[in-house]
Each structure stands twice: as C-alpha cells, then as structure tokens.
Amino acid sequence: MTDTTARRGGQVDAFSIFARFAPLIFLVILMAVFWVLNPRFVLTLNLFNIMLQVSIYGLLAIGMTFVILTAGIDLSVGSLLAMAGLVAAAVSKGGLSNRFTVGEGQDALANPWYLAALAAIGVGLIAGFVQGSAITRLKVPPFVVTLGGMSVFRGAALLFAGGGPISGFDPGFVWWGQARIGGQVPVPVVIFLVCAILAHVVLRYTRYGRQVYAVGGNPEAARLSGLNVRAVTTSVYVIMGFFCGLGAFVLSARLNSAEAIAGMGYELTVIASVVIGGTSLFGGSGTIFGTVIGTVLIGVLLNGLQLNNVSSYVQQIIIGLIIVLAVAFDTFAKSRRRTA
C-alpha cells in the first residue's frame, strides 16, 4: 500500500469518525455558546424544560427515523397528531356528543385515561396502515401520499373539533403530560427516552431492524434476498402512526387540551431532528441515538434563540437552513465513501 493510499484511508477514517459524532459535537458547541450568551441557559430547570419541549418532537422523530431509513418521508405527522389528540379528548370526555359539555374531567360520563390513549394510538395505527398501503400497493410516492394525508387529517380534525378546543380532562389523563417524577423529571421526557431505548433495541438487535436497513439501503437487493419489501415498508408507516397517536395523547395531557391546529409545522422540526441526527434521507443509514441527539440539538437551538429574543420567523429560517446543510453534508459524505 502506497503512502498516498494510506493517507487517503486515514482521511476517510477521520472523516467517518467526525461524521458519526458531528451532531454530538455541534450540540456541545451550541450549549457552550448559549451558556456564554445567557448563563440562565444551563440552569437545571431550563434543561429539563428543554427536554419537555422536545419530548413530543422526539416521539414523532423516533417514528420518522423508521420511515426515513426506508428512504421514505411522512409529511402528515402534525395533522395526524391533531386528529388523534381530538379523538383521545372526545373519548376521555365520554363520547363525541359530550366533548364540549362534560365538566373538568369529573363527570360520570368521563372514560379512563387508558381508553383515550388506546383511541389516539388506534387512530394513528389505522392512518399509518392506510398510507403505507397506498404507498406500497398503489405505487404512489410517499411524498404525494403523506402530503395528501396532511390535508385530509387536518381537514378531518377541523371538522371533528366543530369550532373549538376540547379541554378539562380527568386527572389520570393529565398526569401523563404534567407530572414530574421525583419532582424534577417530566413524565413526557421519561416516555420519550424509554421509547427511544426500545426503538434502538429493535433497530440494532432484531431481525426486523436489519430488514428496515436492508430495504432502505437497496430495496431491489432486499427483494431478491427474500425480504417482503412491501410489508416492511408498510410497517414503518404503521410505526409512525403509533408514535403520532402516542404523541397526541401525551401532548393533550400536557396541555390539558386538544385542538385542530395542534401540530402545525411539526413536520419540518421532526424531519430536521432526524436528518441532523445523521439519518440519511436516501435511506439505509442512521440511528435512534442520532435522532435523540438531533432532537435535543433542535430543542437547545430553539430555546437558546428564545432566551436571546430571536424572532420566531428567524427561528424557522434557521431550521430550514440547517436541514439543507445536513442533507448537503450527507450527500458529500456518501460521495466520499463511494470514491474512497
């Protein structure tokens, strides 16, 4: 092996290491910058608040990781979140006809919190299956199917809401969004981290996880090797639907309210979290750990900008630019691997 080849190999190895840990490096740098700009940033309460703020994004990002690993996309997550949240709220209130009339969760018609949770998750699972089936059986691109789903679910949520939010839930319902374990750690944060660990185990250590990576890396090769590409592809949208339903339940519990405009703009933030975390939009590579880091990085960025009184419009511009840069970095990394 020549010196040139060795140097090239060393450079590729160094770049690969940097690419792998880049989200974590940028997170540390970002936290240091905001700490210098505003010492309040590193207060324990603020850090827990950051995790609380991103917990719903994080749940959706876990599901989106499965989807993007197969080179798919789901633009309907915010709208489905709103729809599932309204269904959960109506079930908690004792039914559709009582959604605006039942008192603050104390009426005899109110249902247990777990029925509301099951209803929200059920809506998500059904929606995910329908969209996944449309993608795999009708051969419609994921972008088109989920763009249509975004409009359909938002319209259904507006129709279902009938002109106003649904609020005032049973204390057992609200506990899942507002309680703090040990008086410090918010329950939504615990739910997010537990789901992240379980998703990591599924992707890293199970046959199904290997199938997801295989389908995203090369669907034709996966099909020729005997994998049911259609079933795997459909399943990731079902998983996405599950996390939309779970996120809807937790968000409604946290706000003690559900409304048709919930989740607007979540698509951009969720996709940004996954892509910034190192999951390739081209499919086949990425980790749940990276998604968690990407989600926290987004939360730190938004919180730091808010503490420094940066306009929300500017924040959206920054997130959009970050997505472009992350995709450009991924494209550059893939080209280096091909030429190495």
Q: What is the average pLDDT value for the chain, to the nearest integer? A: 87
The answer to the question of residue 292 being in a domain is: no
Other CB atoms within a 10 A radius of the CB of residue 255 amount to: 17
Is 110 inside a domain boundary? yes
Residue 275: inside a domain: no
Largest CA distance in the chain: 80
Domain assignment present for residue 254? The answer is: yes
- Provide the domain count of the chain: 1
**Torsion angles phi and psi, residue 186, rounded to 5:** -65, 140
Measure the CA–CA gap between 217 and 326, rounded to whole angstroms.
19
Domain residues for the domain of 107 are 52-266
Amino acid at 34: F
Flag whether 18 is in a domain: no
Of residues 3, 276, 245, the one with CA closest to residue 126: 245
CA distances from 93 to 251, 262, 333 (A): 16, 18, 51
Is pTM beyond 0.85? Reply is: yes
Strand-pairing partners, residue 167, are 257
Distance between terminal CA atoms of the chain?
14
> What element of type H or E holds 334?
helix 312-339
Q: Is 108 among the domain residues?
A: yes
Please report how many Cα atoms fall inside a 13 Å half-sphere around the Cα of residue 318, on the Cβ side. Answer: 15
**Neighbouring C-beta atoms of residue 277, cutoff 10 Å:** 26
Q: pLDDT tens per residue, the chain (340 residues)?
A: 444 444 444 445 666 677 677 788 888 888 888 788 777 766 666 778 889 999 999 999 999 999 999 999 999 999 999 999 999 999 998 765 555 554 444 454 578 899 999 999 999 999 999 999 999 999 999 999 999 999 999 999 999 887 688 888 889 999 999 999 988 899 999 999 999 999 999 999 999 999 999 999 999 999 999 999 999 999 999 999 999 999 999 999 999 999 999 999 899 899 999 999 989 988 988 999 999 999 999 988 888 888 778 888 888 888 888 888 887 877 777 676 666 5
Instruction: Answer yes or no: is 314 within a domain.
Output: no
User: Does some domain include residue 273?
Assistant: no
Dist CA 262 CA 179 (whole Å): 21
